[in-house]
Structure 1
């Protein structure tokens, strides 16, 4: 009996030590995981802060010389070192806004077709084709836009639109001037094509997360496909849809090479969408290697700082809007 009791106590002690070792190992693993996750989050904040500080330091000579007038001045003259950011800001906002206005309804429509209406054998090929658009380098879009798309617009679309709206107030200013082919509208159309796969893919993925029982219940009480999408699917996935739109807008705001090829790179503000213009990214890409003075270089960095602030404000506004939507839905 004594030997048996000793053996039992020995095995119980060994089992207790193994459990303690397992608990310590789990605690160490959890500590490492928490430290790595926390370090990653801190690293992101440090990188963001470093980028912001670098932009502010680099842009300070131009900002201190021109002051707030830098944002509202159209002139851009490297010879006299007189720089203003109005034309690049205007071109960036206009082209990105038009691209989003075109890409969002088309992207959501494609996502609805793929999830609700498309025959099953065609869903995967169409989805792959849409995703392949996202993998095409931007310079390829630029070359295609310059040598194929812009000449097509110059020969066919732009002369027709100019003739149709020639006597229509307001529209005759938006679609005025000679048909160059290149210009802000051409750039916006190229951007719409580029951001379309991002919006479509994310929207399709979030549509797939809608519980089937919700849609089946709606169809069961006699709802049409339009009513199901409008009242069930889109309200359920609005946060994901907004995320896809913001991703597309971020791509449109920061796109460089494709825009540089087709926008015309003219530092002027024009009411006509057919007129050449420029964007912040295109200006930096075109002129940074030629910037030979402190003010010239600082002005280009200041454009980068403005783009950084614009992107931050847009994303913050979108996040605030989503919070209000969620709060209203909860109420």
Structure 2
């Protein structure tokens, strides 16, 4: 006898069908699952590599911390022959080089980005972008050798003229003090690094400026504003956070630059406020002294690498947070 099923009560939701067990899988299921596993492993591998780098640096710098204590990171004395292994002076001179580089690179980079996006003819934009990107591909040692062989001597003459001009002015007379005769100085290193970070700051700034809605620019021009007023009133306010992030990313690049700085900074570990005097940075002293170092000195140089890594990670986190805030404000995921 055939069993007749009672119809569902009026208004009652139908029962869901039983779950499928087994059966054919959709096309591409295996490839999608493999890709997901590979992507997860790649992400985990990046974190593992970073953790291993931090661990190796920390483990090899323990001798420095045991001998000098954590205060050695802030100590201004670096004299291995006297058992002094302070990083403070080198940290300050590293920041001096980076700040000089930013002061030189940021205005030029913003100007180039505005020229490419707003002024240059469309036909000329691609060649300009290609040249700017090409600068980013040039090895740092090439920049260092170029400045060492071609610019150091002329820069020494310029430094002397500037010093003679401001030597009697308070503060400026100390900042632009008696120059090195060779032209190898903190300022020279800042100039090299400024040239090197210019392409990356330009590229990021150009992309940020390009996010300004065309409607805002057209509305500003329609109200009778000049091109400069449009840039100042529409593009700059819209792109402020992104430009700050580009500057911080450039700052992180400047802090870690090594070979070019080692060639032109003059290699002096004595802290000075004179930007025309020789100096040293965390990265350049590692490059110059690591090969001949041993014992606590070698451990200290590895510790300098740990300090440098911490500085770049912090700067990267700050830049990412600023970019995320800017994207959230613009409604970008």
TM-score where L is the length of structure 2: 0.85
TM-fit CA distance, 1:221: 2.6
The equivalent of 2:275 in structure 1 is 273
Deviates most, 279-288 or 42-51: 42-51
In the TM superposition, what are the counterparts of 1:76-155 in structure 2 within 5 Å? 76-155=78-157
The equivalent of 1:232 in structure 2 is 234
TM-fit CA distance, 1:23: 4.7
The equivalent of 1:309 in structure 2 is 310
Query: Alpha carbons of 1:193 and 1:240: their partners in 2 closer, same or farther (altered >3 Å)?
Result: same
Q: Give, in whole Å, the separation in 2 of the partners of 1:41 and 1:246.
A: 24
The equivalent of 1:26 in structure 2 is 28
Give CA deviations for 1:60-119 in whole Å, capped at 9, x if unaligned: 110111013312323323334321112211111110111112211210111101111123
The equivalent of 2:72 in structure 1 is 70
Give CA deviations for 1:17-45 in whole Å, capped at 9, x if unaligned: xxx98853333333223222222221111
Which structure shows the higher helix fraction? 1
Q: Give, in whole Å, the separation in 2 of the partners of 1:99 and 1:191.
A: 6
Query: Alpha carbons of 1:36 and 1:176: their partners in 2 closer, same or farther (altered >3 Å)?
Result: same
5+ residue gaps in structure 1?
1-19
Q: Give, in whole Å, the separation in 2 of the partners of 1:21 and 1:208.
A: 50
Aligned length in residues: 309
TM-fit CA distance, 1:235: 3.7
Q: Give, in whole Å, the separation in 2 of the partners of 1:118 and 1:145.
A: 30
The equivalent of 1:285 in structure 2 is 287
Give CA deviations for 1:216-257 in whole Å, capped at 9, x if unaligned: 233223232223323333344445434432332222111111
Q: Give, in whole Å, the separation in 2 of the partners of 1:104 and 1:218.
A: 26
Q: CA RMSD for the aligned pairs?
A: 2.3
**Greater RCO (Cα-Cα under 8 Å, separation 6 or more):** 1
Q: Give, in whole Å, the separation in 1 of the partners of 2:232 and 2:39.
A: 38
The equivalent of 2:39 in structure 1 is 37
Give CA deviations for 1:268-287 in whole Å, capped at 9, x if unaligned: 10011111100011000011
Q: Give, in whole Å, the separation in 1 of the partners of 2:245 and 2:329.
A: 18
5+ residue gaps in structure 2?
1-21
Partner secondary structure for residue 27 of structure 2: helix
In the TM superposition, what are the counterparts of 1:153-192 in structure 2 within 5 Å? 153-155=155-157, 157-180=158-181, 181-192=183-194
Q: Give, in whole Å, the separation in 2 of the partners of 1:22 and 1:264.
A: 70
Contact 2:156 2:179 in 1 (8 A): no
Contact 2:245 2:323 in 1 (8 A): no
Query: Alpha carbons of 1:33 and 1:288: their partners in 2 closer, same or farther (altered >3 Å)?
Result: same
TM-fit CA distance, 1:203: 1.8
Q: Give, in whole Å, the separation in 1 of the partners of 2:168 and 2:244.
A: 38
Deviates most, 321-330 or 277-286: 321-330
Q: Give, in whole Å, the separation in 1 of the partners of 2:107 and 2:150.
A: 25
TM-fit CA distance, 1:132: 1.7
Query: Alpha carbons of 1:176 and 1:301: their partners in 2 closer, same or farther (altered >3 Å)?
Result: same
